[in-house]
Structure 1
Amino acid sequence: MNFLKRQFDDLRTGKLSFFFTVVVLFWIKTYAVYLAEFNLGIQNALQHFLLFFNPLSSAILFFAIALFWKGRARNIAFVMINLLMSFVLYANVVYYRFFNDFITVPVLLQAKTNNGLGGSALELINPLDILYFLDLIVIIGLMIFKKVKPQERLRFRSVMAVMTSAVLVFLLNLGLAEIDRPELLTRSFDRNYLVKYLGTHNFTIYDVIQNSKTSAKRAMADSNEVSEVENYVKANKVDPNPEYFGKAKGKNVIYVSMESLQTFVIDKEINGKEVTPFLNSLVEKEDAIYFDNFFHQTGQGKTSDAEFIMENGLFPLPQGAVFMTHANNTYQSAPAILKGEGYTSASFHGNYKTFWNRSEMYRSFGYDEFYDATYYDMSNEDEQLAYGLKDKPFFEDSMPMLEKLPQPFYTKFLSLSNHFPFDKHAEDSGFPEGEFGDGVVNRYFQTANYMDQALEDFFNNLKENGLYEDTVIVLYGDHYGISENHNNAMSKVMGKEINDFENAQLQRVPLYIIAPGVEGEVNHTFGGQVDVRTTLMHLLGVNTKDYLSFGQDLLAEDRKQIVPFRNGDVMSNEYSEIKGVCYDNETGQPVEEGSNACEEISKEATKRLELSDKVVYEDLLRFYEPEGYKPINREDYQYINPNPKSTDNPDEVTHEENHE
Structure 2
Amino acid sequence: MTIDDGTRVDAAAAPAEQPEQAGSPEPAPWPRLRRRPRPVPLVLLLIVAKLELFRLLAFGVPGPVGIVADVAAAAALVGLIALLAPGPAMSPALWSLNAALSVFLVVAYLYFSYYQTLPTFTALHEADQAADLSESIAVLLTWWLLLFFVDLLLAPVVGWFLHGPRWLPPHGHRGWARVQRLGAMVVIGALVTTVVIRSGSDVRNEQYRAEEFGVLGYEADALVRALQPTPRLDLATAYDQVSELQASDHTTITDPTEAVGFGDAVGKNLIMVQLESLQEWVIGLEVEGQEVTPTLNELIGDSYYFPHHFQQVGKGNTVDAEWATNTSIYPIGDVAMSTGYGDRDIPSLPKLLRERGYVSETFNVNWASFWDHDKLFEAVGFDRWHEKDYFPGENFNVWGASDDVLYGRSLHRLLELRRSGAPFYVQLVTASGHGPYEVPSELNELRLPADLEGTLVGAFLQAQNYADRALGLFIDNLKTAGLWEESLFVAYGDHAGLNTEDTVEDVQSLDPDYTFLRRFNTPLVIHVPGQEASVEDKVAGELDILPTVANLLGISLAEERFVAFGVDLLNTDRHAMSVPYHAPTGTFVNDELMFVSGRGFGDGEAFAIDDGDRRSIDGLRTDYDYVLDLIDLSRAYVESLPKR
- Distance in 1 (CA, whole Å) between partners of 2:152 and 2:307 is 50
Give unmatched runs, 5+ long, in structure 2: 1-33, 599-603
- Counting only pairs closer than 5 Å after superposition, residues 11-410 of structure 1 correspond to structure 2 as 17-38=38-59, 48-68=63-83, 69-70=85-86, 72-113=88-129, 116-137=132-153, 141-146=157-162, 149-150=169-170, 152=172, 154=174, 155-174=178-197, 178=199, 184-188=200-204, 190-213=205-228, 217=230, 221=232, 224=234, 227=237, 230-234=240-244, 236=246, 238-240=252-254, 242-283=259-300, 285-286=301-302, 288-377=303-392, 380=393, 382-405=394-417, 406=420, 407-410=422-425
- Cα 1:111–1:117, aligned 2, differ >3 Å: closer, same or farther? same
Q: Decide whether the 8 Å contact of 1:296 with 1:508 is kept in 2.
A: yes
Equivalent residue, structure 2, for 1:575: 593
The aligned length equals 582
Q: CA-atom RMSD, angstroms?
A: 2.8
The alignment partner of 2:273 has SS state of strand
Equivalent residue, structure 2, for 1:658: none
- Distance in 1 (CA, whole Å) between partners of 2:535 and 2:513 is 27
The alignment partner of 2:495 has SS state of coil
Deviation string, structure 1 residues 205-258 (Cα, Å, up to 9, x no partner) = 332343454xx638xx5x746636632325536214633011010100011010
Question: Which residue of 605, 616, 627 corresponds with 2:638?
Answer: 616
1:521 Cα deviation (Å)? Answer: 0.8
Q: Decide whether the 8 Å contact of 1:298 with 1:316 is kept in 2.
A: yes
Which amino acid counterpart does residue 390 of structure 1 have in structure 2?
A: S
- Distance in 2 (CA, whole Å) between partners of 1:235 and 1:205 is 33
The alignment partner of 1:54 has SS state of helix
- Distance in 1 (CA, whole Å) between partners of 2:37 and 2:213 is 25
- Distance in 1 (CA, whole Å) between partners of 2:490 and 2:297 is 15
1:153 Cα deviation (Å)? Answer: 5.3
- Distance in 2 (CA, whole Å) between partners of 1:404 and 1:56 is 64
- Cα 1:454–1:410, aligned 2, differ >3 Å: closer, same or farther? same
Which protein is richer in helix relative to its size? 1
- Distance in 2 (CA, whole Å) between partners of 1:571 and 1:374 is 40
Most deviating of 487-496 and 358-367: 487-496
- Distance in 1 (CA, whole Å) between partners of 2:441 and 2:281 is 21
Q: Decide whether the 8 Å contact of 2:314 with 2:335 is kept in 1.
A: yes
Equivalent residue, structure 1, for 2:18: none
Which amino acid counterpart does residue 104 of structure 1 have in structure 2?
A: T
Q: Decide whether the 8 Å contact of 1:95 with 1:102 is kept in 2.
A: yes
Q: Does 2:631 correspond to 1:601?
A: no
- Distance in 2 (CA, whole Å) between partners of 1:248 and 1:21 is 70
Q: Decide whether the 8 Å contact of 1:564 with 1:609 is kept in 2.
A: no
Which amino acid counterpart does residue 28 of structure 1 have in structure 2?
A: A
- Distance in 2 (CA, whole Å) between partners of 1:260 and 1:279 is 15
1:82 Cα deviation (Å)? Answer: 0.9
- Distance in 1 (CA, whole Å) between partners of 2:235 and 2:349 is 24
- Cα 1:466–1:151, aligned 2, differ >3 Å: closer, same or farther? farther
Structure showing greater Rg: 2
- Cα 1:402–1:587, aligned 2, differ >3 Å: closer, same or farther? closer
Which amino acid counterpart does residue 630 of structure 2 have in structure 1?
A: R
Question: Which residue of 535, 555, 562 corresponds with 1:542?
Answer: 555
The alignment partner of 2:385 has SS state of strand
Equivalent residue, structure 1, for 2:22: none
- Cα 1:440–1:242, aligned 2, differ >3 Å: closer, same or farther? same
1:587 Cα deviation (Å)? Answer: 7.6
Q: Decide whether the 8 Å contact of 1:436 with 1:492 is kept in 2.
A: no
The alignment partner of 1:554 has SS state of coil
Deviation string, structure 1 residues 368-392 (Cα, Å, up to 9, x no partner) = 1101112221xx5x52421111111
- Distance in 2 (CA, whole Å) between partners of 1:254 and 1:524 is 24
- Cα 1:340–1:321, aligned 2, differ >3 Å: closer, same or farther? same
Q: Decide whether the 8 Å contact of 1:70 with 1:150 is kept in 2.
A: no
- Distance in 2 (CA, whole Å) between partners of 1:115 and 1:257 is 23
- Distance in 2 (CA, whole Å) between partners of 1:584 and 1:37 is 23
Q: Decide whether the 8 Å contact of 2:39 with 2:91 is kept in 1.
A: no
Q: Decide whether the 8 Å contact of 1:113 with 1:354 is kept in 2.
A: no
- Distance in 1 (CA, whole Å) between partners of 2:337 and 2:35 is 51
- Distance in 1 (CA, whole Å) between partners of 2:242 and 2:363 is 35
Most deviating of 361-370 and 432-441: 432-441
- Cα 1:119–1:91, aligned 2, differ >3 Å: closer, same or farther? same
Q: Decide whether the 8 Å contact of 1:246 with 1:541 is kept in 2.
A: yes
Deviation string, structure 1 residues 301-344 (Cα, Å, up to 9, x no partner) = 10111111111111001301111111011211100111001100
Q: Decide whether the 8 Å contact of 1:296 with 1:478 is kept in 2.
A: yes
Equivalent residue, structure 2, for 1:10: none
1:417 Cα deviation (Å)? Answer: 0.4
- Distance in 1 (CA, whole Å) between partners of 2:263 and 2:553 is 5
1:53 Cα deviation (Å)? Answer: 3.0
The alignment partner of 1:239 has SS state of coil
TM-score scaled to structure 1, two decimals?
A: 0.82
Q: Decide whether the 8 Å contact of 2:575 with 2:591 is kept in 1.
A: no
Which amino acid counterpart does residue 607 of structure 1 have in structure 2?
A: D
Deviation string, structure 1 residues 22-66 (Cα, Å, up to 9, x no partner) = 222322222222222347xx9xxxx83333333222211222234
TM-score scaled to structure 2, two decimals?
A: 0.84
The alignment partner of 1:236 has SS state of helix
Q: Decide whether the 8 Å contact of 1:104 with 1:320 is kept in 2.
A: no
Q: Decide whether the 8 Å contact of 2:50 with 2:102 is kept in 1.
A: no
Most deviating of 404-413 and 451-460: 404-413
